[in-house]
Amino acid sequence: MTKAVLPKDFLWGFATASYQIEGAPTEDGRGPSIWDEFCKIPSKIADGSSGDVACDSYHRTAEDIALLKSTGARAYRFSISWSRIIPIGGRNDPVNPAGIAFYKKFVDDLLAEGIVPLVTLFHWDLPDGLDKRYGGLLNKEEFVADYAHYARTMFEAMPKVKHWITFNEPWCSSILGYNVGVFAPGRTSDRTKSPVGDSSRECWIVGHNLLLAHATAVKIYREEFKTKDGGEIGITLNGDAVYPWDPEDPLDIEAAERKLEFSISWFADPIYYGRYPESMIQQLGERLPTFTPEEAALVQGSNDFYGMNHYTANYIRHKTSAPDPADFLGNLETLFTSKSGTSIGPETQSSWLRPNPQGFRDLLVWISKRYGNPKIYCTENGTSVKGENDLPREQILDDEFRAEYFRGYIDALAKAVSEDGVDVRGYMAWSLMDNFEWADGYETRFGVTFVDYEGGQKRYPKKSAKIIGPLFEALIKED
C-alpha cells in the first residue's frame, strides 16, 4: 500500500524490555529480580548467559536515543525494572531514589528529542525479594497490594508519561513461568526441570492475580492521575493467528477459536466482559479461579487501549482424547503445516515463529470484532532470522528477511485499518536492538540493530532499521 491511511498522530517506533537490555544488575541500588536468580541455575539459559551486561543500556541511554532518532521513530516502548525502584519490591520496603531518577531523566531525554515514551511497568522481572517473601505472583493479597504501590510510585514520579502499560504478556508470565517452567521462576510439575510447581493449577492462579493487579493499578491511575496528567493506561496481551488444520472439519474450526480464547480471551474477556471464556471454564472447572462480584466489576472496563503483541501463526488441529491436566492450549495441536501440506511460513531462528502477514490482519480483525473495536497499539512485532548469529557482521546487517517481514506486516496493518475498519493507533517493532532473548540467551537476535557483544556492545543499524520509517511516513496522513 502507498496511500496514506493511518491517523496523523499514529505512533510508530521500537520496543525493548529492561532485563533484556539494561545490564548493571547491582548498580545504584538495584535489587535482584527473579530473572537474575533464574539465570544462575545451570542449563536454564541456552548459552549459559544472563542479563548482567546485555546491551549495557543503563550506561548508554544517549546512544539508544540517538539510535531511535536515526530511524525517525516517533515513539519508544521500554519497561521499568521494579527492582531499580523498590529493590526488595514491597509496599513497606524502601524506595530507591536513584532508580526513579534514572527513568525520569530517560523520559525527559526522549521527550526532548520528540520521542513519545510508552512505559511498561512489568515485563516479567519481579523483584526476587517478593518471590522469596511470599511466593510472588501466586499470592493474591500481597502481590496485588505491592504491585499497586509500585505502580502508584511510578505514576507520581513520571507525570510526563502519557501511555502506561501495566503488564507485558501475562500469558507468558503464567504459562512459561508456572506451567512449562522455561521462564523465571521456573515452576512446573515436571520434576526433571523443577523441584516445585503444579502445572495444572498455578498458572491459572497467577493469571487471575495478574488481572487483579492490572485492574487495581488502572483504578489508581484513573482516580488519582488521569485527570491531571491526561494519560491512558492498558495491558499488553500476546496472541498468534490461527487457521484450522482442516478447514472442512468443524472440530478444527472450533479448536482454532478455542486456541484464541485460551491465549487472548483468558485475559481480554474479563477486561471487556467481566468473565472468563466458557471454553476455559468447561475444560478447567474448579482449577480456574472465580471472580467475586467486586473483582469482576474492578476488572471489567480496565483498559483505555488494547496492547497487542504478535509475531506468528499456526494451524490448529483438534484432539479427541481428554485434556491433560497440564494442558494450557485448549486440548489441541499447533502445527506449521496444514492438512493439504501448505506451510504457514518460512523458518526462523525461533522454533515457534513463522512469518504470516495475513494472520496479523486476520487477528487484528478478530480482536476488533470480539472486543467492540477498541483502540489498538501493536506493542511488539518482529522476527528472528535463521542462522543470523552465525553470519559475519556484513551479512547480519543486510537482513533482507527481517526487512521483508516488516514490509508484509506493516502492509497487513494498513489494510486492517483502511479496508477492515480496525482502530490501530501505534506500532512498535521488536526490537530496537539485539538483546538478551530470555531462555535463548544471546544466540537469537531480534534487533533492527546489531549489537556487538564481544566488541563492547557497539551498535550497528541493520537494513531493517532503515526501511520501517519510510513505510510509515508514506502511510500516515499529513492532516
Known catalytic residues are: 169, 380
In DSSP notation, 78-130 reads EE--HHHHSSS--TTSPP-HHHHHHHHHHHHHHHHTT-EEEEES-SS--BHHH
Does the bond joining 431 to the residue before it have cis omega, within 30 degrees of 0? yes
Position of cell 493449577?
Answer: 201
Contact between 263 and 240 under an 8 Å Cβ cutoff? The reply is yes
Cα distance from N-terminal residue to C-terminal residue, the chain: 19
CA–CA gap between residue 158 and residue 337 (Å, rounded): 47
Report in angstroms the alpha-carbon separations of 327 from 20, 164, 284.
29, 32, 9
CA–CA gap between residue 152 and residue 313 (Å, rounded): 37
Could you tell me the sign of the dihedral formed by the alpha carbons of 4, 5, 11, 13, in that order? negative
C-alpha cell at 72: 525517525
C-alpha cell at 465: 532499521
CA–CA gap between residue 186 and residue 192 (Å, rounded): 11
Determine the longest span between alpha carbons in the chain, in angstroms.
60
C-alpha cell at 16: 525493548
Contact between 442 and 55 under an 8 Å Cβ cutoff? The reply is no
